Amino acid sequence: MAVTLALAMTDPVFAILLQTGWLASAQEWLREPERLAWPMGRRVLAAAQLAMAQGDWMMAIDLLRRLSESEAPSAFQTVVRAWLGRAWHGLGRLDMAEEVVKSCLGLPGSDEAVLELAVLQEARGSRLAAIRTLTRERRRLIERHPPLPLDPAIRIVEPVGPYERSFLRYSCQLADWWLAEGDVTSALDCWAEARAQVTADAESYRLEAGLLARAGLMPQAYRALALFVRLYVAQWPPDPTITLPDAADRAYADPALTALLQSPSHQEAAAFLLGQQWQIVAGDPTWREHLVTAYPEHPVALFDLGVVWLAGGQVRRALPLLERMAALPCANPHVRQQGLAALRLVYAQVPERQEQALAMCETEAPDSHLAASLFQSLAKEGRWPEFDSLARRLAPEQRGALPALVEALLLREDEAAIVFLLEHLAAAVPGEPHVLSELITRQLLRGDVEGMAANTRALVRTNPGFSTFESLARRFWHVGQRAMAESFLLQFSQTFPSSNEPLWTLAAWWSESEDPADLEQANEHARQAQRRKGPLAPNHRVIARLAAYRQEYLSALKHYRSALQAAPEDLALVQEVAAFAIRQGYVQEAEMAVERLKQISGTFSPAIVPLADQLWQAGQRQRAMALYLEAEAHDAIDTAGKQRIIQWLIAKQAWDPAVERLSARLADSEAGSERTLIQVVMAKLLAQQESTLPQAMATLEGAVEDCQWLRLTLPGDTSWDMLRNHPQYGLQFEHLLA
């Protein structure tokens, strides 16, 4: 799902950590005294945002729902409800998301909710409705707002970014959707209106550069970028002949830009600029060479280029640049801090620098990213003694690195050593969910019932909530302990009788089986879940599976449609619907599902072949053939499909492509009836044209030699008339039958 809402009412550094996926550091950031002093509502909102970034949608929904029921200013409530809508969106419940978002329209600060509503409409497959929503709201904003200067945090490539001004965000989102519709003219019109709201010429060129790059118009984008840099640092008149290296030269040399980026209020701008340089100029060797040669002693330029290489996965090319930067004096503390952090991450990934990284871990302030990278590197190299030593030294202080530590530990083959280290970590960091969950699973498999029970109590005590129960039950389920997983979730269900989440979860898990006994279990859980008024609406996917099991196929189709409406981007769901529709012969539904699969994944879908079989059997040969040919192009067609292509080509009298495919099949076939049949069909096709009669005769002779009884079947077949009546080959044909 596209990120559409700004990280409202949160610290800008926290926002950057979430956007870049540095979730462990975001968690540490929230634990610092300054953040603990935030008002409770702001802290709960930040915790919900972190849960969403981690993919724990139910936890986020629970936090936001409680927050929305509290007494708070209406503007804050609007933000909370908009985030709650986004959490339902992430869970795949677009109906609930739309209901929540609509509830805050018209309230103070509802501009964000309007944008989220449009995104929901687009996710449901109604992109034109989403465009209408934003177009209508944009007109209102033009009436309400004077021309707006762009915030310095808006940078060159990401027009749908953290804008503080709703009009610009609406315009850029609209432009993206027009591009998706293939309407470049309307997209450029949106951007032109956005530029009209910008008072500063330099900012106008910066916006134009990003928008043109988004449309793929790179020459124009580079020119606009060059004009922006030149105007921004010196306010010179626009010069169409200016080059990008010239502009960059001024940007890095001008004290005004350095002073701007040193300002604490623009640290976020610097972070966005660094990330976006990779996207717009990483493929331009001129830009890279310019940075290397023009600024050998400039820390900012070295850092920028190092980050560009690092973002592209070229760690060794980034290393010398970042090391040179670290050795230079730098007046900008933000740049230096970020550069050193990048350097530590590089050290963790380069074996000959890992000793330096280990030393940094012990002597410098806690750095979860560095520790996590080291754990992963040591595990991949099998350096387990160093891994254990580092884990024992860092575990209490480096809570943020523990998820990566546990993941890396799974590469180990020594089960006893894994459990021993997990037990140590569980004692050193009480209540840590990743450590306890993995330890409980291992104890279950080893039969350590007492230890498993004690750690389960500790996990539930320190991490209450359904997400903890569900996560642990899922582990039990996946290791084959289904009865224990069910018992664990039913325990939660009995403790919280108003909750239907555990029942729907169990119904979903049991319904994935084809065993009638398992499906009866799923049926019972689904019936109980529907009787409760819990936070989850009916799971249409589960209901559809169970209806199909009862052979109520029309009911199953209805519920599958409802499930798709709620989660149109769920690839596994669309695959399931396609398979069901193909099995039951719902050809139109199957075609729609297969087309949706191609849109979501952007690649060929194997479901095309069974759909083509259905169309062929239904007599829709032309539509079936289009799918067979697509499957053939991806080397994903079975023998029956290949045979049908040949059959169709013969019916169309397309002799040459039919012979070409038969030749390929002949080369792959072994001696026997199949090979003989292929030879006869090939000979028939070749016998229809004067120019290929010699090949027809040679192929037919080979077939008869393989199977003598063909002599008895050939005379009455009119397919051979041209060969039989030919003055040269007629005698050979008759001799073949003698």
The Cα 506–Cα 728 span in angstroms is 77
349-384: burial string, b at 16+ Cβ within 10 Å, e else:
beeebbeebbebbeeeebbbbbbbbbbbbbbeeeeb
Instruction: Give the residue ranges of DSSP H helices in 602-737.
Output: 608-617, 621-633, 639-651, 655-668, 673-686, 693-706, 710-713, 721-724, 729-737
Letter for the amino acid at 657? P
The set of residues, in sequence order, having a beta carbon less than 8 Å from that of 605 and lying 6+ positions away, is 575, 578, 594, 597, 598
The torsion angles phi and psi of 451, rounded to 5 degrees, stand at -65, -40
DSSP 151: P
3-state secondary structure of 29: helix
Q: Which of 18-27, 230-239, 555-564, 700-709 has the lowest mean pLDDT?
A: 230-239
- Is domain 467-569 in CATH 1.25.40.10, yes or no? yes
Average pLDDT of the chain is 67
- Tokens standing for residue 208: 């134009």
- Tokens standing for residue 526: 């689904």
Whether the CB-CB separation of 123 and 568 falls below 8 Å is answered with yes
Query: Rounded to two decimals, what is the model's pTM?
Result: 0.47
Q: Quick check: 240 pLDDT over 70?
A: no
The Cα 97–Cα 321 span in angstroms is 46
What is the enclosing helix (H) or strand (E) of 71? none
What's the pLDDT at 297? 44
Cα–Cα–Cα angle for 609, 613, 617, rounded to 5 degrees? 170
Choose among 558, 531, 532: nearest CA to 546: 558
Ranges assigned E (strand) in 414-562: none
- Tokens standing for residue 654: 């397309």
Taking only the tens place, the pLDDT of each residue in 725-738 is 777 777 776 666 65
The Cα 418–Cα 412 span in angstroms is 7
Q: Quick check: 700 pLDDT over 50?
A: yes
In the chain, % of residues over pLDDT 70: 52
> Does this chain's domain 1-125 share its CATH topology with 467-569?
yes
Pick the more confident residue, 560 or 124: 560
Quick one: pLDDT band at residue 249, thresholds 50, 70, 90? very low
Letter for the amino acid at 709? W
Q: Which residue has the tokens 């103070």?
A: 108
The Cα 200–Cα 165 span in angstroms is 15
The set of residues, in sequence order, having a beta carbon less than 8 Å from that of 88 and lying 6+ positions away, is 57, 61, 94, 96, 97, 100
Whether the CB-CB separation of 685 and 650 falls below 8 Å is answered with yes
Fold held by 1-125? 1.25.40
What's the pLDDT at 139? 67
Pick the more confident residue, 520 or 598: 520
The alpha carbon dihedral of 540, 515, 478, 606 has a sign of negative
DSSP 538: P
- The domain limits of the chain are 1-125, 150-262, 467-569, 653-738
